[in-house]
A and B are shown apart, each in its own frame.
Chain A
Amino acid sequence: MNLRRLSAVAKKECLHILRDSSSLYISIALPMILLLLYGYALTLDVDRVPIVIWDQSETTESRELISRFAGSHYFTAQSFASGYKDIEHAIDTRQALAALIIPKEFAQLLGAGESTPVQMIVDGTDANTATLALGYAQVVTLVYSQEIILQKARQLRGQVLTVPIDVRPRAWFNPDLESKNYIIPGLIAVIMMVIAALLTSLTIAREWETGTMEQLISTPIKGPELITGKLIPYIFLGLLDVLLAVLMGKYLFHVPLRGNVGLLFAMATVFLAGAMSLGMLISIITKSQMLASQAAIVVTFLPSFLLSGFIFAISNMPVVIQWVAHLIPATYFITLLKGIYLKGIGLEVLALEAVLLTLFSVVVVLLANFKFKRKLV
């Protein structure tokens, strides 16, 4: 490895990046825009679910139940229906995601002390929202139900009873269950993976396609020097993105960063080296920009988006898919990021993930070098 040749390649690659300013802008603007979107616009939190209400009873009791629903910030009364047709229409056209149906005999049944049915219909197409909404509805009803019972007991016997059991939830690391706190740390990993692979997947293929590879081969430069030299500027660009993302997370979105920032950047560097070498490897193997870009997307973007535990929890997947998920470097990086960000834990807990991530990077870097040598001969 000759430092002079290495820096010459690095300088040449820097010029490439700087001259093609649109790629440079995009590699800086894309992370910012994505972060802004996620930070402000995208949330999995379910609140103010629009419901359509069919109140057949129209009594004080039924209106009290409705106000319990509408008064909780989980639901908003979108409209009132007077039959199943209205409900069907509201749900088909997605004006409402759920319907609350109160039967005609609601007040009588309650008065007679019978168990009183109330019906809830949810639009099951979005199962996640539906599950959350149903959970809220169950709790709202059960709490109101117990109040009714307590009240009745008091009226009939003058007995003062209390609610028997109460749940005290404690959500650790994210007390308000805000999805942004959980998404933004993971997002850093996804963005890095994509930017890294995108930036580097074309570099070698481009040299082949434009014919400049022959010129490079005729120089005394060696394979590892070329690959490392090409990687260095991109790694710095990637780290700049990480820095921007961390700053935005902290000052714009107030995502708590409880762990060690040094560890975060160290891991980011390891991850970037691996992800970028992966892009290089793709570039070396395909030799064509079109194929390289397709392969880079297939190999990096969707897996790190869908399989890495970024949003879809790995523990909910079938076992075989869990193995696949553990082949993806972003999985480890996301675990590391979430741990460092939210739990404030360090290597004492995350050592395994850190080791595996490093292992991945080393293997890919070596593989890229090895493959490149063979292509030259």
Chain B
Amino acid sequence: MLAGNPRRSMFSVLAIALVVTLVATACQSTGTPQGSGSPSGNTSGKRTITVIAQWGGGERDAFQKVIDAFTAKTGVAVNYEQSRSLEALVRTRVAGGNAPDIVFYSRPGPIAEWAKAGLLVPLDEPVGKEILDPKALDAALGKSSQDLGRVNGSLYGFLFKADSKSTFWYKPASLQAIGGTVPKTWDDLIALANKYKAAGKTPFGSGGKDGWVLTDWFENILARVATPKVYNDLHVTHKVAWTDPSVKKALTLFAQIFGTPGYFPGGGQGVIGTAFTEGIGQAFGKTPTAEMFYEGGFVGSIIATDVNKDLKAGTDYDFFTFPTIDTTYGSPITGGGDLAIMFKDTPEGRALMQYIVTKDAADIYAATGNGTPSKLVDASKIPNDLARKLHDQVASASVFLFDGSDLAPSALGGDYEFTALQDLVTHPGDVDRIAQGLENFAKTAY
């Protein structure tokens, strides 16, 4: 019918053209930065910046305090987004041309990858007009905190939050009740576990459904049976093979502890069926089924804010340093943390990067009980003994090794290694097969 009337079909063509134009312009306008909609009432006309990190719960609240102080000082509003699948989110946003301003991320591996792809803003160039004044940076952060974010000599990121991952959490009352003492060596730990087992208790909780919990266990063991060089070469460059004798030794010790019946609630199957926070709950929940829980320093704040608010730090829960295995290698501290990196170079983004290395920011953050690598921190600002003990453990470490799986490429350290160690937890006799599988995979991943 319409086709019979040329004028009207002409009109419909115009109408369609108009709609298409409208849609196209509408799409375009969403791509431009928007200063409106800021929750903190930003009226200075400054751009709101987007920050993405993995922190939720208490960790998020702590960082929010730093953001609030920053906004109060500079008038720049910050839109904080939390994501547990941060890498997927950031990759998608970058591919879609909508990169966030600043990201805090715990894996130097992908950060180096992004830096090499030219996606990140270098923070120490050009000389004399650096985004971060090198003197201020050196005053705040040690070399190792900066080197983690250095790629081919340029600084793309630096450590903002640092956590020890060599902390073994336990219940002082439960330890006393059984007549045990804090274990200093691996043999002590096994003896204590057997003591608990003999008393009808389950010594360890674990949350191996989240694979990184298992990689952290493995890395602490490896750091205690191999040199720091072997540790780093295995993860960073794969110059050391997964079938290397020291790596296999670490895998074997790992398999022994996870493979011993009665050590974990539900055995190996229980470990891989339990998520990280559920694992904390096994040891520190209201109806506990386990006595100790190995994971990083952040476990303390998760117990206090999410798992069981009734417990008191120091008396109801405390930590000891992951026991020494071989005196040759001593007791290195493995740790994780989050590096700040910048995707978009804007005055507002620069302001935040500059702010978070200041003493003000470090003090505010330390006052929340979170770990900071900053040398400027006023120790009296740290709110409690436990947090101070954690800070001291990192500060006094003779050897500090960064979380190895976070140094490896994502496909290995963020995926295959997780499933391989879950495999080992449920098949503790298969060290050779699993080491070979890891080695085969690693060959394709670098």
* A interacts with B: no
